[in-house]
Amino acid sequence: MARVRIEVRSLPEPGLWAWELREVDSGRLVASSWLEEWAAFASPAAAYAAALERLSPDDLTPEVPRRPDAA
């Protein structure tokens, strides 16, 4: 996988959050919890943590926090 950044976004349903993985250089969407899995989360931190589980350390850019509470 190319170097990616994690983006957490709110969904139209109040209180639900989803994660997206985007290529750093192009901004291209690589994966999405909502579009691919219809998976939503109760908080931004929970969505961020779920995205981290999909990645290896080599996938992350240096500025991506390794902890969901740092997002």
What does the alpha-carbon distance between residue 46 and residue 23 come to, in Å, rounded to a whole number?
Answer: 21
Q: What is the pLDDT of residues 7-58, one digit of tens each?
A: 999 999 889 999 999 998 899 999 999 999 999 999 999 999 999 998 877 7
Q: 């919890």: which residue's tokens?
A: 33
Residue 71 confidence (pLDDT): 45
What pLDDT is stored for residue 24 in this prediction? Answer: 86
First to last CA, the chain: 21
Structure tokens at 54: 């999909």
pLDDT value at residue 55: 86
Token code pair at residue 55: 């990645």
User: 60 falls in which pLDDT band (50, 70, 90)?
Assistant: low
